[in-house]
Structure 1
């Protein structure tokens, strides 16, 4: 077994560099906040941040001056409002302006799929009638090689320098298992040149082998695995802890005021020094109110005659 275990600090230090294209994925839950915070701590700059749904972690990275370009499909503070650091950077040309490149959700997923498959483009029909092709030159129309009367839009492949995703568990070889809502984590991992996976727990490989169909990313596609409990907070990890809705509601007030945002980043990212420091600042009983009641799925039978 190849041991791919890293500390969060060392994984970011080794695999994330200035000027790179970084995919930071996780859809609704399993958002790798701890990794975003570590990137801010290490002062990484000039990133092209790829995220299907840039939310608070993207706002924090932009507010900290880490991002020069945002490739995305939808951005907002889920069910709450705007992300004001991103708005300032885009609309008013703040002290850290950013470039944007917008897709639909499936359009960005198709870019990951093309990158993972090694093909020059991926056809997608959902841009017919949309205004997005007017603002994004990467959305192009081509004639079908099989029927000259048919045209379709295509998107180019996307191969980020590094992908960072979060999941429930993995073994030391980086075989990653996840359940609940599955976003583009698998596609991003296969499309990227390097992949870091944060997990709630590292388990024995026998646990992974006992339920192989739950493995969404195999170890050969992973370069570093980091055990990082509660690393998706304030989002959630299905079965481990729930979404911290109080934090999401509070963020708009923080993000709206540049001085409050700077103070929050200093207090909750830099001053705590690490993810463990962040958890200590939250308090030992913090996650009690976010702990879900157990609800186990029905076991499956993998029996064979062998």
Structure 2
């Protein structure tokens, strides 16, 4: 039952089925920030399924866009700051793709990308964004200014609407209907889920719907916005997921090692792979 009393279908499917919903060429907004609460298990599953020509939309990606660049999955991006955070510096394979001219980049500030997503969420063609004066981003992207219609004499840059085909969010908890809860900061996940055409969720655990009924204010994404979801414990690995686990720094060090062997070892050591192997062992 939903909180309104209507019967809703069970939206929980396998990780493989969830990733299969994203076709080649799609634009995908990824939740989280840097190494924190990103939907990394689904990102790795897109690699395993051989997806190609994706566009990634995210204010502050890192590991996710880097591994997608490393494996040739992504050819377009709309991003703000991109890095593996202070411990590891810049995202090396992302940077390489940019330098080689193999990634079409629409460079943003985090605020301008958020403004574009807000415009899509609000159903308007553009959204004002402050703080861009003096930056080369406006000229680079052809962003226009509008004068204040209320007579202040000031002008403001306006950012065109950005509507991703998909938003993929990693969450702490979900129920079978798709109600989604994030503990701690939600970063830009709320506006992504309102801007995208379709919303997919990867969650640490499935909980009873009554826990959402009892605390409706803690629901980040209501069930009627969610198309499908999967339950994947440690799905944000090697990143963190507050308060369940912290960043796995040795795993990121191992990922950053050069060579196909390092990448294959990294993908093979992911929690979703180990979980699949354990389930197979129990059925032998």
Question: So what's the TM-score if we normalise by structure 1?
Answer: 0.83
Deviations 1:144-179 (A, max 9, x none): 222272210010111111111101001111110112
Question: So what's the TM-score if we normalise by structure 2?
Answer: 0.89
Q: Is the Cα–Cα contact under 8 Å of residues 198 and 227 in structure 1 kept in the other structure?
A: yes
Q: Is the Cα–Cα contact under 8 Å of residues 254 and 262 in structure 2 kept in the other structure?
A: no
Q: CA deviation at 1:279?
A: 5.2
Distance in 2 separating the partners of 1:250 and 1:182: 28
Equivalent residues in 2 for 1:26-41, closer than 5 Å: 26-28=32-34, 29-41=36-48
Q: CA deviation at 1:203?
A: 0.6
Distance in 2 separating the partners of 1:220 and 1:280: 30
Residue 23 of structure 1 is aligned with which of 11, 29, 40?
29
Alignment match, 1:87: 95
Q: CA deviation at 1:275?
A: 5.2
SS at match of 1:223: strand
Residue 55 of structure 2 is aligned with which of 44, 48, 52?
48
Q: Is the Cα–Cα contact under 8 Å of residues 39 and 202 in structure 2 kept in the other structure?
A: yes
Q: Is the Cα–Cα contact under 8 Å of residues 268 and 278 in structure 1 kept in the other structure?
A: no
Distance in 2 separating the partners of 1:265 and 1:35: 16
**Any stretches of 5+ residues in structure 1 without a counterpart?**
282-306
Distance in 1 separating the partners of 2:121 and 2:193: 8
Distance in 2 separating the partners of 1:251 and 1:53: 19
Alignment match, 1:199: 203
Q: Is the Cα–Cα contact under 8 Å of residues 25 and 163 in structure 1 kept in the other structure?
A: yes
Distance in 2 separating the partners of 1:275 and 1:183: 24
Q: CA deviation at 1:278?
A: 4.2
Q: CA deviation at 1:265?
A: 3.1
Is 1:98 the counterpart of 2:103 in the alignment?
yes
Is 1:166 the counterpart of 2:170 in the alignment?
yes
Q: Is the Cα–Cα contact under 8 Å of residues 64 and 265 in structure 1 kept in the other structure?
A: no
Alignment match, 1:136: 141
Distance in 2 separating the partners of 1:181 and 1:251: 26
- The 3 A distance-change label for structure 1 pair 238 and 225 is same
SS at match of 1:34: helix
Alignment match, 1:208: 212
RMSD (Å) for aligned C-alpha atoms: 1.9
Distance in 2 separating the partners of 1:277 and 1:268: 10
Distance in 1 separating the partners of 2:271 and 2:254: 21
Equivalent residues in 2 for 1:261-276, closer than 5 Å: 262-269=260-267, 276=272
SS at match of 2:220: strand
